[in-house]
């Protein structure tokens, strides 16, 4: 069915290098990925930073909530002792249209600024709407993107129920579902695709599961080890 299953690097290539860092993005690009998934939070000074957790404690030498620090404060912390926390623009400039970017709206109030940045890169830097996919577990953030710019492609993340994700997708004209790998069966993938949805599965790391997802003919596989895809 699928001519090609998309290879998508999870937070860059986080199986190899610290997640959501420029080094991890470069590593994923070196593996020839079709797309790279990253996470964004809005920091206290209003910029979007690329970081997964709501707090700094697990990944950096700082502590506390990401959203309660300014960009200049966040830039002083080190991810895994060696990398700085990048802004969304720094990640986009590194990718430079070499593949598409999947921006997951992780923190609250991330939708509006994400839309502004996407529109800027399309109007000023030669990017195309096909270069962007915006995903989230947070329904209201996706709704905000949809209400601001209906040309931006949306994906509904779920770790609970594929049918529920499709019901939400209908309300915001999302064409892509991102289910957790533990949810998917050959049947529910086929059902989603028959109803016009693309299915990108996360997070698929071991070779056996990768082979199973390929056999199920998913549209894309999100992996910490994109070189295994």
pTM above 0.95, yes or no: yes
The residue assigned the tokens 């070779």 is: 207
Walking along the chain (229 residues) 10 residues at a time, the average pLDDT comes out as: 84 98 98 98 98 98 98 98 97 98 97 98 98 97 98 97 96 98 97 98 98 98 98
Q: Determine the pLDDT at residue 11.
A: 98
Q: Determine the pLDDT at residue 98.
A: 98
CB neighbour list of residue 25: distance below 8 Å, 6 or more residues apart: 9, 12, 36, 38, 91, 94, 95
Q: Determine the pLDDT at residue 49.
A: 98
Q: Determine the pLDDT at residue 150.
A: 98
Nearest to 80 by CA among 56, 53, 61: 61
Q: What residues act catalytically? A: 10, 52
Q: Determine the pLDDT at residue 1.
A: 44
Q: Determine the pLDDT at residue 200.
A: 98
Domains and CATH numbers, the chain: 6-42+97-228 (3.20.20.190)
Q: What is the DSSP string of 69-89?
A: S-HHHHTTS-BTTTBPPPBHH
């Amino acid at each position: 069915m699928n001519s090609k299953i998309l290879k998508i690097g999870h937070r860059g290539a986080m199986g190899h290098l610290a997640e959501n860092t420029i080094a991890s993005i470069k590593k994923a690009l070196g593996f020839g990925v079709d797309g790279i998934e990253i996470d964004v939070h809005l920091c206290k000074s209003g910029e979007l930073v690329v970081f997964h957790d709501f707090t700094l404690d697990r990944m950096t030498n700082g502590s506390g909530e990401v959203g309660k620090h300014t960009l200049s404060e966040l830039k002083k912390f080190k991810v895994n002792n060696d990398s700085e926390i990048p802004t969304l623009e720094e990640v986009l400039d590194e990718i430079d249209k070499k593949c598409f970017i999947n921006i997951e709206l992780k923190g609250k109030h991330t939708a509006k600024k994400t839309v502004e940045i996407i529109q800027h890169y399309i109007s000023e830097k030669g990017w195309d709407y096909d270069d962007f996919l915006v995903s989230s577990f947070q329904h209201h953030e996706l709704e905000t993107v949809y209400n601001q710019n209906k040309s931006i492609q949306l994906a509904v993340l779920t770790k609970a129920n594929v049918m529920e994700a499709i019901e939400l997708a209908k309300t915001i004209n999302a064409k892509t579902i991102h289910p957790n790998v533990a949810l998917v069966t050959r049947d529910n993938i086929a059902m989603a695709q028959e109803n016009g949805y693309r299915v990108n599965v996360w997070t698929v790391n071991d070779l056996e599961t990768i082979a199973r997802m390929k056999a199920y003919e998913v549209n894309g596989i999100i992996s910490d080890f994109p070189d295994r895809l």
